[in-house]
Structure formats: C-alpha cells, structure tokens
C-alpha cells in the first residue's frame, strides 16, 4: 500500500471475552447474488434500552477527553441511551488513551465482565470519527463487513500482509477475527448495508477481489442514526417504565409486536426476600436490574415460574429496581401476561 493508504488502514480491533475466544465467528466468503450487505449489531450484548452508561476516563488530556465526550454523544442524540461522564470507579465504560495500544473496545455488555480497575476501551489515536466508532462498539455495534450476509471476497494474502505490519502490527489471529471472519447468523441483527457507516472499516481495493474498496467515514450516516433508534437497537419508548406496587394485585401487560421489551420498576424500602414473577400463557424471559441503575443485572429467568412464566427470587436492599420482560421468541413472539412483586 502507499503511505497514505497505510495511514487510512489504521483501524480498531474488538476485545474478546474468553468465552468468545472459544467460539470463533464463522468464516463465509461467498457473495450473495443480489449483492446485499447489512449493518449489524450483536443483540445478545445490547444494554437495557434506556440505560444510563457511566464513563470514567483513566488518563488522557483535556482535549482528548473533550473529543471522546463529543463523539459518544453522537450516538445518544439518537439512541435511547445516555452517557454520564462522572468518572465513577465502577463506571460501565472505562477509557484509556494509550498511543501504543491502538484503538479498541469490548462489545456492549461485555464491558461488565471486565474488572473495574481495567479499561474497557482504548483510544490510542483519535483520527476522524475514531471515538464515535469505539463508542459504537461499546453500545453493541459490530463491524459492518463482518455480517454473514455481507459476502465480501477478501484477498486474504494481501490483507494478512498489510495488517501484520505498521501501523497495526496484528497477528494472523487478530486479522482473522477483526476482518476476515464473519459473525454467525444467530448472533446479530441487521439493516440494509450502509457504505457511509462509521462502523465500516476503510480498506483499499487491493484487499478485495472486486477491486472496489471503501472510503473512510468520520461521522454517523443518516441510515445509521435511524438504525440505532430502531426497534432492533435502542428505540425511544412511547411510555416510561410501569410502576409496580409490592404485594399489589398483578399488573396486566402484553407484548404487542415481536421484539418488544417491556420495562417495569418498583421501590424496595427495607431489606428482604422479594419474588418477582409473571403469569399467563405467554412464554417470557425476565431480567432484574438495580438498585437505582438500569445497567446492573442482578438476575435473569426464563421458565422458573408456573409453566412458561418467569420467576426471580432475590434478597433486595432498599432502592429502585427494574424488571425487563420480553417474549422468548424475539423474532415472532407476541402475547399477554401479568407481572407482580411480592415480599
């Protein structure tokens, strides 16, 4: 590559948890006949819709931190998420600025599995929209070229050669994970391919058999803004979380469209054992978060109640808690149910 191309190929890599390293992505190299590609999000690593994600800077200059804050908020202007830059010790997203470690981020809720004294993201360079790209990973977005329907035919020898040298200096395993391999179809949700997406790598024509590369994208595209606010990602709710009373009569609810996630909240005033459960004939999954934060997962249950109902039994301390309910079948499931909290 020319020196200019090498500069543009300074790209990020995804950090993996051990369980993901044990389950590598499928590699698919065939092009679909219609040439359709799709933008993708790893739905199993999405935060709870409406979450407030706290961010701690572990170093960096004031100027670097300002860029990171500004570009993170490109997403929160459209997604039903907020970023709180409060440098909390247990912040969900923790950012370093080590120039020797490239640019990378853990994907979505994988951040919660990282010890609180370690970074979940590094911004070793801040070219163009790099910070926005990494915060895209932090909220669950994957690289677009890794869609199983993408069908890019790589010149693998060229890709391996170019990315093994400066400025990336990647191992063959890193190159395959971040460029050549594809996600399994059941790991992602997608939209129509967007060549203007900030989540799309720049790569030169020499890397692909078609000879047609991509351009560097430094801002969120219009399609991207629509996608991140869609039902597939973080839609803004038409109603707020429904309040549940403890030891009150069951609250009736329904999943009216496939993929809908209902949110409930209740307040605990004293320590004790609490039972949160659903009723009815609908097969639901329930998650419990709190206290006083929608990103701290306490428990999850599928069929622990009667029949296909969910049931969570937990010793809770005072605070506000959130119960998220969805159908087991996110692609097609609908139906009515009830939910109650007892002590």
Residue 12 is assigned to a structural domain of this protein:
yes
Q: DSSP string spanning 66-121?
A: HHHHHHHHHHHTTSS-EEE----TT-SEEEE--TTS-EEEE-GGGGGGS-TTS-SE
pLDDT in tens, the chain (343 residues): 333 333 445 556 555 444 443 333 322 222 222 333 334 556 578 898 889 999 999 999 999 999 999 999 999 999 999 999 999 999 999 999 999 888 899 999 999 999 999 999 999 999 899 999 999 999 998 876 665 555 678 899 999 998 888 877 888 988 887 788 765 555 545 545 677 888 887 888 999 998 988 888 899 988 888 889 888 889 886 657 999 999 999 999 999 988 888 999 999 999 999 999 999 999 999 999 999 887 778 999 999 999 999 999 999 999 999 999 999 998 889 999 999 999 9
Structure tokens at 219: 């801002």
Q: Tell me what pLDDT residue 147 has.
A: 57
Residue 56 is assigned to a structural domain of this protein:
yes
Q: Of 204, 228, 252, which marks where a domain is finished?
A: 228
Q: Are both 179 and 255 inside the same structural domain?
A: no
pLDDT in tens, 162-218: 888 887 788 898 888 778 876 555 554 554 567 788 888 788 899 999 898 888 889
- Which domain CATH number covers 60? 3.40.390.10
Q: Are both 175 and 323 inside the same structural domain?
A: no
Q: Are both 49 and 130 inside the same structural domain?
A: yes
144 with 200: CB under 8 angstroms?
yes
146 with 25: CB under 8 angstroms?
yes
> Which structural domain range is residue 308 located in?
242-342
Q: Are both 160 and 15 inside the same structural domain?
A: yes
Q: Strands across the sheet with 319-327, in order? A: 242-243, 261-268, 319-327, 284-289, 297-301
Q: Are both 222 and 267 inside the same structural domain?
A: no
Query: Torsion angle, CA of 297/303/305/308, rounded to 10 degrees?
Result: 130
Q: Of 180, 204, 228, which marks where a domain is finished?
A: 228
192 with 38: CB under 8 angstroms?
yes
Q: What is the 3-state secondary structure (H, E, C) of 306-341?
A: CCCCCEEEEEECCEEEEEEEEECCCCCCCEEEEEEE
Residue 236 is assigned to a structural domain of this protein:
no
Alpha helices in 193-285 (DSSP H): 222-228
Q: Tell me what pLDDT residue 25 has.
A: 32
Q: Are both 47 and 151 inside the same structural domain?
A: yes
Q: Are both 62 and 109 inside the same structural domain?
A: yes
The C-alpha atoms of residue 92 and residue 105 are separated, in whole angstroms, by: 12
The C-alpha atoms of residue 5 and residue 21 are separated, in whole angstroms, by: 30
Q: Tell me what pLDDT residue 197 has.
A: 84
Q: Are both 33 and 156 inside the same structural domain?
A: yes
The C-alpha atoms of residue 311 and residue 173 are separated, in whole angstroms, by: 42
Give per-residue burial for 253-283: e unless 16+ CB within 10 Å, then b: bebeeebbbbbbbbbbeeeeebebbbbbebb
Residue 233 is assigned to a structural domain of this protein:
no
Using the Cα atoms of residue 90, residue 240, residue 41 and residue 225 in order, give the sign of their dihedral.
Answer: negative
Residue 237 is assigned to a structural domain of this protein:
no
Q: Are both 59 and 107 inside the same structural domain?
A: yes
Q: What DSSP designation does 129 have?
A: T
Counted domains in the chain = 2
CA angle 114, 119, 124 (to 5 degrees): 145
Residue 117 is assigned to a structural domain of this protein:
yes
Q: Are both 15 and 129 inside the same structural domain?
A: yes
Residue 29 is assigned to a structural domain of this protein:
yes
Q: DSSP string spanning 6-71?
A: HHHT---EEE--HHHHTSPPP---PPPTT---EEEEEGGGPPPTT-EEEEEE-S--HHHHHHHHHH
The H or E element that residue 4 is part of is helix 3-8
- Which domain CATH number covers 270? 2.60.120.380
| Sheet strands (E) in 157-246 | 188-192, 242-243
Q: Of 228, 262, 279, which marks where a domain is finished?
A: 228
Q: Are both 184 and 260 inside the same structural domain?
A: no
Q: Tell me what pLDDT residue 256 has.
A: 92
Q: Are both 200 and 278 inside the same structural domain?
A: no
Q: Tell me what pLDDT residue 29 has.
A: 22
Residue 90 is assigned to a structural domain of this protein:
yes
């Amino acid at each position: 590559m020319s020196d200019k191309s090498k500069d543009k190929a300074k790209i990020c890599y995804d950090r993996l948890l051990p369980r993901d390293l044990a389950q590598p992505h499928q590699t698919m190299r065939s092009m679909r006949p219609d040439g359709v590609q799709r933008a993708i999000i790893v739905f199993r690593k999405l935060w709870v819709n409406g979450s407030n994600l706290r961010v701690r800077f572990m170093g960096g200059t004031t100027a670097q931190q300002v860029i990171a804050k500004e570009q993170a908020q490109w997403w929160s202007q459209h997604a039903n998420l907020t970023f709180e830059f409060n440098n909390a010790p247990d912040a969900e997203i923790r950012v370093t600025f080590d120039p020797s470690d490239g640019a990378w981020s853990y994907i979505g809720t994988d951040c919660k599995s990282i010890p609180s004294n370690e970074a979940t993201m590094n911004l070793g360079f801040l070219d163009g929209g790099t910070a926005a790209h990494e915060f895209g990973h932090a909220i669950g977005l994957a690289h677009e070229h890794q869609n199983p329907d993408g069908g890019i035919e790589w010149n693998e020898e060229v890709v391996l050669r170019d990315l093994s040298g400066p400025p990336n200096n990647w191992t063959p395993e890193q190159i395959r994970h971040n460029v050549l391999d594809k996600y399994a179809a059941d790991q992602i949700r997608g939209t129509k391919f967007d060549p203007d997406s900030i989540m799309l790598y720049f790569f030169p024509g020499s890397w692909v058999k078609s000879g047609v590369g991509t351009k560097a994208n430094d801002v969120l595209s219009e399609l991207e803004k629509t996608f991140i606010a869609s039902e597939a990602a973080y839609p803004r709710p038409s109603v707020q979380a429904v309040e549940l009373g403890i030891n009150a009569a069951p609250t009736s609810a329904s999943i009216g469209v496939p993929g809908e996630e209902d949110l409930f909240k209740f307040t605990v005033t004293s320590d004790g054992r609490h039972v949160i459960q659903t009723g009815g004939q609908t097969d639901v999954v329930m998650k419990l978060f709190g206290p006083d934060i929608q990103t701290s997962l306490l428990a999850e249950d599928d069929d622990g109640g009667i029949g296909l109902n969910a049931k969570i039994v937990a010793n809770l301390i005072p605070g506000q808690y959130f119960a998220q309910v969805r159908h087991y079948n996110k692609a097609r499931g609908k139906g009515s149910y009830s939910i109650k909290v007892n002590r």
